[in-house]
Amino acid sequence: MNKDVRGIPPLRAGRRPAGAALLGWLGDDRSPRLCRIAGSAGSGKTHLLDWLVQDRAAEYRFQEQRVHAVLQAEGITVRAALWTLGHQLGVAAGGLGDLLTALADTAGRTVICVPGLDRAADPARLVEQLLNPLLRLEQVRLVVEAPNDSPEALGLTAVSAAAVLDLDQPQWTDQARFEAWCATEGADATAYPSPGRALGRAGRPAARGVVELAALVPRTPEGAPDPAGAGELLLSELWAATVREGSAAQLLAEPTLLTYAGPVAVTAALEGLEGPVTAAWEAAGPALVAEPDPAVRAAVLRTRLIGLDDAAAARLGTVAAPWRAAWALWPDSSAGWPGPVAALAVGAGRYDGQLLLADPGGTIRTVDAATGTPLAGVELPGPKPLRGVTVTPGGQVVLLDAWGELELLAADGVDPAALAVATAALRGAAEAAPSVLHAVPGLPSAAPAVADEAGSVHWYQDGAVLGERLHRGPVTALGGAVARGRAVLVSGGLDGAVRLWSPGSEAAAEPFDRRDPLVGAVAAAETSAGLLVAAAWADGLTRVRLVGSPEPLLELRLGTQVWALALTEGRVVLGTADGVAAVDF
């Protein structure tokens, strides 16, 4: 198929000239980086942009004609818009700086389509706090639906010149094709060039109020609201009505009303409100806007509420979901908080049944692995930032500091001499600074495996170091388990790949898993069904897979990057910048 405008899908109502012009703008590096779509109600702006973004990566389009993200602006706030774009562009965007930094580091262009800017929760604020900062990046192009002479249109052109495609102008509609379309649809051809007016659909229905909408929400036999029966569209409209009437706080008593509604509408309704539910929603927001299943949204929000609002967490726990948090520790939790979890290790020896949680500054705290109950700290020779911590099956704690140095902590009843020899050999064999380490459970005499910034993984065995180059760029995560009597190491890299390697054998040519973002953490565990592998990428996604099975057992997001993982049969523990959670699946 020829990759030119002759190969594009048909545009109804004679709008082929408008479509060709839009693709021409995308394909011309000399054109302004902002294209504004204008026109009166019913002029077909929505139809044109829907056409533009359908099959974004289709073969008939040149690379420069492709749209990378779509921000449906109706009812959206700046915060929800940031989360939405971050998800679509593969960025864990906790703030605007995260998104701008990631896009600035992108080699190619990023095209973002924004339909309905004038219907955003606050169009001027969205322009000032998100769209204009994006437009200041040379790599970004925006195609935005905004009326002529509106404040939001003027705000955009203050930063960038705009190519304007006004659909009220007849040159963007082929009159003969319009008339033929009208004949097919039984529409009024005298309304040229407006398809909406031709069909008698130029207006928008009047908005309904909270009382009217609440009366439409079904009830359970006990008389409580039934969010699942109401459906997302009705509940989203209900939350939008609370914004207009200032009554959103009244609905917080039933938290499932949040998770069964559209996350964009809920985020707008919670703007300016305070309390644990609102704070948990904000913390989980990037995960909530990315998740289409309301039951999973309930599980995410419940996880973020554990220890902060146990009544709301219990109510959300009544929703059947594919996974459920067993425990969690967040800031201000009634159970305690270990701080940000930059690294974690499964305990052994004197730490048997515990998890060791290291914060970025180097403090290590322990919690009960089954319940998350905080226990004590690990005594260290002095504070220093850590890259990693692991515990050998014999109970020896091994640290990897920010400068790539390995250190053994003194442990009662453990002779570190042999381990010191092994770690020195591993450090010497590394092709670059060590980046991560991991001790494989079940192998009492084995030293921790060590990986480096050159992409290699190293294993000490029988007085020698075995090494394998597994990644392009630094190894960013390392885990392992004993599978069928042999050690299997799992590594993740800056290249986004997750690889398996059994020391002494040749590594597989293809990665076990791969995505575009870097891998922030991995873990492995031998189970009754086989070897389980968990991996977390920098965009916030954690995936658990059984080796040999094509489908994941679990995919989840908690709203932030996962920095550390531990895995057992049926449970994964996730360490994040906000704290730690244990999830059963």
Beta bridge mates, 354: 368
Same-domain status, 305 and 435: no
State which of 168, 199, 230 marks the end of a domain. Answer: 199
Q: What is the pTM of this model?
A: 0.92
pLDDT in tens, 491-519: 999 999 999 999 999 999 999 999 999 99
pLDDT class for 2, splitting at 50, 70, 90? Answer: very low
Residue 390 included in any domain: yes
Q: Answer for the pair 489, 503: CB distance below 8 angstroms, yes or no.
A: yes
Residue 206 included in any domain: no
Distance between the two ends of the chain, CA-based, in angstroms? 46
Distance CA 134, CA 552 (A): 35
Same-domain status, 400 and 481: yes
pLDDT class for 4, splitting at 50, 70, 90? Answer: very low
Least confident of 312-316, 403-407, 410-414: 410-414
Number of domains within the chain: 3
Beta bridge mates, 546: 532
Residue 211 included in any domain: no
Same-domain status, 19 and 58: yes
pLDDT in tens, 257-297: 999 999 999 999 999 999 999 999 999 999 999 999 999 99
Residue 559 included in any domain: yes
Q: Answer for the pair 330, 569: CB distance below 8 angstroms, yes or no.
A: no
Same-domain status, 294 and 347: no
Mean pLDDT within 249-254: 91
Same-domain status, 316 and 426: no
- H helices of 90-204, in order, are 96-104, 123-126, 132-135, 151-157, 175-185, 195-199
Using the predicted structure, report yes or no on whether residue 59 has a pLDDT greater than 60.
no
Residue 49 included in any domain: yes
Range of the domain at 222: 218-321
Q: Answer for the pair 140, 123: CB distance below 8 angstroms, yes or no.
A: no
Residue 26 included in any domain: yes
Residue 204 included in any domain: no
Using the predicted structure, report yes or no on whether residue 434 has a pLDDT greater than 60.
yes
Same-domain status, 475 and 536: yes
Same-domain status, 563 and 487: yes
Give the pLDDT score at 503. 96
Angle, CA 502 vertex, CA 498 and CA 507 arms, to 5°: 60
Q: How far is CA 536 from CA 127, 138, 355, 426, 497, in A?
A: 33, 31, 19, 26, 11
C-alpha torsion 148→151→153→154, nearest 10: 100
Q: What does DSSP assign to residue 10?
A: P
Using the predicted structure, report yes or no on whether residue 61 has a pLDDT greater than 70.
no
CATH code for position 564? 2.130.10.10
Q: Provide φ and ψ at 565, rounded to 5°.
A: -135, 150
Of the candidates 333, 334, 389, the residue with the CA atom closest to the CA atom of residue 361: 389
Distance CA 30, CA 387 (A): 46
Same-domain status, 118 and 186: yes
Same-domain status, 521 and 403: yes
State which of 144, 165, 199 marks the end of a domain. Answer: 199
E strand map for 99-245: 110-114, 140-145, 162-166
Least confident of 152-156, 299-303, 534-538: 152-156
E strand map for 175-283: none
CATH code for position 19? 3.40.50.300
Residue 486 included in any domain: yes
* Residues contacting 448, CB < 8 A, separation 6+: 390, 392, 398, 423, 426, 437, 438, 439, 440
Strand, coil or helix: 467: strand
Using the predicted structure, report yes or no on whether residue 413 has a pLDDT greater than 90.
no
Same-domain status, 470 and 504: yes
Give the pLDDT score at 414. 72
pLDDT in tens, 88-135: 999 988 899 999 999 998 888 999 999 999 999 999 999 999 999 999
Give the pLDDT score at 48. 93
Same-domain status, 551 and 579: yes
Same-domain status, 416 and 455: yes
Mean pLDDT within 176-202: 93
Give the pLDDT score at 373. 97
